[in-house]
Each structure stands twice: as structure tokens, then as C-alpha cells.
Amino acid sequence: MSLLRAFTAIEIPRAIQLAIWQATSPLRNELGSRIRWTPPENIHLTLKFLGDISPASVDDLARALRAAVETIPAFDIQVGGFGSFPNFKRASILWVGTQPPTEVDALYREVESACGRLGFAPESRGFSPHLTIARVKADGSAADRNKILRLLESTTIDVLGAVRVDSAHLFKSDLKPSGAVYTKLFSAPLRDVMLSEPKSLPPPNGGSSPSAQNDTTL
């Protein structure tokens, strides 16, 4: 039986995905093939990367995650800001930032706990909610790295909108020659509440926040 490469995530609406794609157009035009860009339809907020799992474990995951998150109220995340891991000078992953409320940390902890009870290893790095938009190729020349640094330091991304989070999702990732294809396997709904007022997003801080990297190549 073939294994599934799986992860849990917050889904990003198409309008926000396209807004990110449009906001990063100048970078794509300048950097081209030096960067491997995430297709807009694949932009998401990872909660936990599970790795290769058995298809038989999907039902157990569904039950555990639905029970874990059903008491967490739905919430809003604002999307905006720009940075890289580990920093602009040694950029490996480019991200668009978020301003998550406390509920997203609660959601992450419940997902971690539920997966841990099923035998999945805990995440060793701190949770840093972000949207991966690109990965910098490691084989670039010194001139390429200098150009990337200059462009990253001059790039800003304003607030692009708010994401209503009312479910956590399990996706599988199929790696194809054209790139990864994500398929949603199930959704675990949160407790619904009235739409809250989005909070203002603080200005980005030169690529050093979120403070800890928790991105895994999917």
C-alpha cells in the first residue's frame, strides 16, 4: 500500500493567494529562475507536517483532529509583511507574514497533541505562523546572492486582507515533475463565532520575524 505524504494546514482563500501572487510579481520578474516559487493555489499555513503516513491512518487522524479542535472558536488572521528564513542575507525560504490571534496557538497545540497521541513525533522547532511563497535555490553564484539580498531588502508587502479560519485541514502532497499537487483529505471544523474585527498588522522587521522556522518542504 502506497504511503501518503501529508500535512495539516489552514487553508488560504483564493483571493488572498492571488493577492500574494500579485504583490510578489516584481520579485518574480527580477529573480526569475533563481527562486522556486510556490504556485498561488499551493499557498497555505502549515500547522504540522506529518511526513509519510499510511492511508489506513487517515480515519484515525480525522477523528482525533475533529475532537481536538471542535472547542476552539473560529478566528481571523491578517496577512501581510514579508521576510525570509533564516534572514535576508542567507535567505532560504521567503514568506508572507501573518498576525495570528491567540487562537492560532491554541489550534496548533491541539493539533500537535492529537497527532502526538497517535504516535507522531512532536515538532522540535517553535511554531511561527507564515505563508511560504518561495525557496531560494542553493546553487546560485555570489552575484545571484547579492542581487537577491538587494531585492529582498527593498521589498515590502502591505496588509493584503484577512483569512477567516473555521477549520483545520489534512492534505496529501503528490510530488510530480511539475511540482507538488495538494489534495484535501478532510476538514476538522472549529467552533463558529461571529466575525471579529481584524487587528492591525505591525510593520515587517527586516526579514527576521517570525522568529523561529517551522517550514518543511512538502
Angstrom distance (rounded) from CA 156 to CA 115:
36
The DSSP H or E segment spanning 132 is: strand 131-136
CA dihedral sign, ordered 25, 85, 177, 15: negative
Supply 213's cell numbers. Answer: 522556522
Distance CA 109, CA 101 (A): 14
At residue 167, does pLDDT exceed 80? yes
CA pair distance 148, 142, nearest whole angstrom:
10
Q: How many residues does the chain have?
A: 218
- Domains (range + CATH), the chain: 4-189 (3.90.1140.10)
Question: pLDDT tens across 168-201, in order?
Answer: 999 999 999 989 999 999 999 999 843 444 444 4
When pLDDT is averaged across residues 133-142 and rounded to a whole number, the result is: 90
Q: Which has the closest alpha carbon to 81: 163, 157, 161?
A: 157
Is the peptide bond preceding residue 73 cis, with omega within 30 degrees of 0?
no
Angle between helices 58-69 and 102-117 (to 10 degrees): 140
Residue 7 has pLDDT above 90, yes or no: yes
